[in-house]
A and B are shown apart, each in its own frame.
Chain A
Amino acid sequence: MTHAAAPGDEFMMRDTTSHPPAYSPPYKTSILRSPRNALISLQQSLTEVTAPVFRPEELGPLDNDLIMNASKDGLPIGERVIVHGYVRDQYGRPVKNALVEVWQANASGRYRHKKDQYIGALDPNFGGCGRMLTDANGYYAYRTIRPGPYPWRNRVNDWRPAHIHYAISGDGWVQRLITQMYFEGDPLIWSCPILGIVPSEEQIRGLIAMQDTSAFVPLDSRAYRFDIILRGHRATLFENFVQGAKA
């Protein structure tokens, strides 16, 4: 059995087969933006096992409500959905007070970003970003408009599946993670180069949110469930803390 995680414990080594390799030619931009040298593996010190702490009062009341947080003169157009789930570590323990930040395109597949030139219409009542802290059970929830797919310049006719970007900050710097969430049943999932470079079907399936009818709000919103797994504290049986000073 594993012992209870204590702050200052080391984290599990990262399993590189869980992630796309840096150099992934089907995703063309990775070719010039991937290191040629191997990463140098570090035994963790305090620098790696600590991370910034965020406080609820730093967030606004509508920060997790993408339907309302940029509304000017009405509601945004599109499918109303709730996305919710748990952030846990590799042992299944809840990750409390984790900062979860999300961003996405609108229902047309258009981003509110000065560099996005896609012809799909902007929505004056939709911003496309939100953030929240997980509770004591590692639970988070936000509501939004389901994003549309959009075309991008990789091969000439590549289209991203509908997706929501996530950034998660947990208890340790080593847990820092950016990923993307997809929607169950989207046929574009299986032809996307950015997903195709994830090394296993199991890991791709881990990025697909499942429709959650139990959480639908009648006559209002559908719901999707998306859980996130961060690296877990390792059971350090004989050397308790990574720093010399004792608790």
Chain B
Amino acid sequence: MNTTKLLRETASQTAGPYVHIGLAPNQAGFDIFEKNFGNVLVTPETKGERIRIEGTVYDGSGTPVRDVLIECWQANADGAYNHPADRQAGKSVDPSFRGWGRACSDFDTGIYSFETIKPGVVEGRKGRPMAPHIALWIVARGINLGLHTRLYFSDEAEANARDPVLNLIEWEVRRKTLIAQRETRDGQVVYRFDIRLQGDGETVFFDI
């Protein structure tokens, strides 16, 4: 008997054009659940610097992908994940921050956004610190297996230069596709993060 034979992961399939029905029914045009999962990760109690993430996803022709759904997963301001596997010493969980959100692009403009906080530094493998980052997962019609990427911050140049994941990207010229650009708009901090699925300036995607 071969005890090392594993079950195979269930095959992925595209989320399709109507993904909003299941994951964001308000966007599909109807109201059904009492509590909806959305793109606002913060409550008034959440600790940390408020930021807005905003951008557009483009296909290989440069056309905005208007039916995309993006989820984010991030640590709190202290650099701790709200999950039992996070055992980093000296960091505390913020009970008012789950660290996860879900955004849809606007059907007309193609713009998506998250209202969140800037994450702290998380310890990486072998104790090496990772620069502040947010994990993103992108699904849509035409995407057969959800695409994973990371968002880093333009005002963390020093930490980014030492980040073990960015440094794994052999083509230095591609690293900048993962850096969101900081701007201030009416007193609000906004990080612009466009995602290019294919072609010139193609965003780096990870097999995690």
A194 within 8 A of B: yes
CB neighbours of A34 from chain B (8 A): 60, 142-144, 197-198
Per the CB 8 Å criterion, the residue count for chain A at the interface is 95
- Report the tally of A-B residue pairs with Cβ distances under 8 A: 283
Known A34-B198, A52-B73, A165-B19: A14·B9 in contact at CB below 8 Å: yes
A165 touches B11 (CB 8 A): no
Known A19-B12, A33-B198, A243-B87: A63·B21 in contact at CB below 8 Å: no
A230 touches B9 (CB 8 A): yes
B12 touches A52 (CB 8 A): no
A121 within 8 A of B: no
A113 touches B29 (CB 8 A): yes
Per-residue CB contact flags for chain A residues 4-28 toward chain B (1 = under 8 Å, else 0) read 0001100010111011111010010
Per-residue CB contact flags for chain A residues 228-247 toward chain B (1 = under 8 Å, else 0) read 11111000000001111111
How far is it, in angstroms, between the C-alpha of A242 and the C-alpha of B164 when the chains are bound?
14
Query: How many Å from the CB of B65 to the closest CB on chain A?
Result: 7
A60 touches B10 (CB 8 A): no
A129 touches B144 (CB 8 A): no
Cβ-defined partner of A228 (8 Å) among B10, B29, B34, B197: B10
B85 touches A8 (CB 8 A): yes
B124 touches A127 (CB 8 A): no
Could you tell me which residues of chain B, from 116 to 156, have a CB within 8 Å of some CB in chain A? 122-127, 130, 133, 135, 137, 139-147, 150
A32 within 8 A of B: yes
CB neighbours of B98 from chain A (8 A): 52-53
Q: How large is the interface on B (under 10, 10 to 19, 20 to 34, 35 or more residues)?
A: 35 or more
Could you tell me which residues of chain B, from 146 to 187, have a CB within 8 Å of some CB in chain A? 146-147, 150, 165, 168-169, 174
How far is it, in angstroms, between the C-alpha of A203 and the C-alpha of B8 when the chains are bound?
8
Residue of B nearest to A130 (CB): B22
A19 touches B145 (CB 8 A): yes
A191 within 8 A of B: no
B22 touches A33 (CB 8 A): no
CB neighbours of B30 from chain A (8 A): 70, 112, 127
A183 within 8 A of B: no
Cβ-defined partner of B207 (8 Å) among A36, A39, A194: A39
Residue of B nearest to A177 (CB): B12
A173 touches B208 (CB 8 A): yes
Per-residue CB contact flags for chain A residues 160-202 toward chain B (1 = under 8 Å, else 0) read 0000010100011110111110000000000000110110001
Main secondary structure of the interface of B (DSSP, over half): loop
A39 touches B206 (CB 8 A): yes
Could you tell me which residues of chain B, from 77 to 131, have a CB within 8 Å of some CB in chain A? 81-89, 98-100, 107, 122-127, 130
B3 within 8 A of A: yes
Query: How many Å from the CB of A41 to the closest CB on chain B?
Result: 4
Residue of B nearest to A168 (CB): B10
CB neighbours of A115 from chain B (8 A): 17-18, 67, 107
CB neighbours of B34 from chain A (8 A): 60
Ordered nearest first, which 9 A-B pairs have the shortest CB separation? Answer: A103-B22, A244-B127, A29-B142, A52-B100, A33-B142, A7-B85, A50-B83, A39-B207, A8-B85
26 example contacts (A-B, Cβ-Cβ < 8 A) are as follows A8-B86, A15-B9, A16-B207, A18-B10, A20-B144, A31-B142, A32-B198, A35-B197, A35-B198, A36-B202, A39-B205, A41-B206, A52-B98, A53-B84, A59-B35, A90-B7, A102-B22, A112-B30, A115-B17, A171-B85, A178-B146, A194-B13, A198-B13, A206-B11, A229-B7, A232-B7
Taking A42-B207, A101-B22, A112-B21 as given, write out 7 further A-B residue pairs in contact, using a Cβ cutoff of 8 Å, ordered by the A residue number. A33-B60, A37-B202, A127-B21, A178-B19, A180-B16, A243-B87, A244-B123
